[in-house]
Amino acid sequence: MEIIVAKNAGFCFGVKRAIEKTQDILCEKKGKVFSIGSLIHNELVTDDLKKKGLIEIDDISTISDIKNETVIIRTHGVEKEIYDILKKNNNEIIDLTCPFVKKIHDIVDEYSTKNYKIIVIGDKRHPEVRGIVSHGHEVSVVSSEDDIKKLTFDRKDKVLVVSQTTESVDKVEKLVDILKVFYYNIEVVNTICSTTIERQEEVGTLAKVLDVVIIIGSENSSNTMKLYNIASKHCNKTYIVSNRACVKSIDLDDNMKVGICAGASTPQYLIEEIIEDVRNEL
């Protein structure tokens, strides 16, 4: 069996920075530290941080109860109004929003002051997208051609199009082409992060020549699911593996070429353990 490991696998810059900073803060404070939602979308990592004292706040309605505490803003970012509540209650805010996401906030802020209507290509339920939407005045989220047809902007409106940082390149290009049919005055800013683009291109290329593709990561991770969707178009035996136990359910034999890829929130130790488990399954 030949095992091919993707060059671009594991923590991206934004995730690595957030985890290291959070670990430092937990050591420094020696007490409770809050985060708004999960710092990243990987249960193994976030469970470990919780054991070290990190308290996740998933219920937005309880944020106003946090006062005079240290609060971490997750990598996906949060809604603009959450900052206001945290500041009002004299909390120390540690903003670990991914720089690529922060850039979109700035772009949406700028174009909104110029009376642009904003269209975000992405999943409206995702925390990153909710944060982006909060920075504009008239913002719509689309993820399909049907969503575009439901838009109520005037054809002559000035329109800015951005996307979730982890969106599929092919999907964004397809929807932008459709949007250009509907709107005359449209400006598009490519906001898919460079790491996402590199990983998607690599997994698409590898999947075409592999018998099995294993994507390591969590199913609630947007970038991991995009890798899975791309790989599964080219390789019927594509699997998402969130932990070592999942490897046992994959049928492997000596004659296979097996590719191993990983989402941007997947720790290196898990990648190495699963590579070893794949070898031992034979």
Share of the chain above pLDDT 90, in %: 83
Same domain, residue pair 217 and 265 = yes
Judgement on whether residues 65 and 109 belong to the same structural domain of the protein: no
Residues 174 and 200 in one domain: no
Q: How far apart are CA 202 and CA 199, in angstroms?
A: 5
Contact 80, 134 (CB under 8 A): yes
Distance CA(45)–CA(197), nearest Å, equals 24
Does 261 lie in the same domain as 200? yes
Query: Tell me, what CATH number does 83's domain have?
Result: 3.40.50.11270
Q: What percent of the chain has pLDDT over 70?
A: 99
Alpha-carbon distance of 118 to 103, in angstroms, equals 15
Q: Which of 41, 67, 97 is the last residue of a domain?
A: 97
Choice among 20, 81, 128, 201 that is catalytic:
128
Instruction: Give 66-89 pLDDT, tens digit per residue.
Output: 999 999 999 999 999 999 999 999
DSSP state of 6: -
Same domain, 112 and 170: yes
- Residue where a domain stops, chosen among 170, 188, 206: 188
**Strand ranges of the sheet holding 185-188, from the earlier edge strand across to the other edge:** 139-142, 117-121, 158-163, 185-188
Whether 111 and 174 share a structural domain: yes
Structural domain of residue 178, as residue ranges?
100-188
Residue 149 amino acid letter: K
CA separation for the pair 66, 92 (Å, rounded): 11
Q: Encode pLDDT of 166-180 as tens digits.
A: 999 999 999 999 999
- Tell me the one-letter amino acid at 53: G
Domain end among 52, 75, 97: 97
What is the pLDDT, as a whole number, of residue 282?
56
Residue 281 has pLDDT above 80, yes or no: no
List pLDDT tens digits, range 205-249: 999 999 999 999 999 899 999 999 999 999 999 999 998 888 888
Strands 139-142 and 117-121: what pairing? parallel
Res. 186: pLDDT tops 60:
yes
SS3 of residue 120 by DSSP: strand
Interacting residues of 92 by C-beta distance below 8 A, sequence separation 6+: 69, 70, 71
Asked if 69 and 21 sit in the same domain, the reply is: yes
Q: What is the pTM of this model?
A: 0.90
* 128 part of the active site: yes
Number of domains in the chain: 3
Say whether both 20 and 80 belong to one domain: yes
CATH at 250:
3.40.1010.20
Pair (108, 156) in one structural domain: yes
| pLDDT tens per residue across span 6-31 | 998 889 999 999 999 999 999 998 76
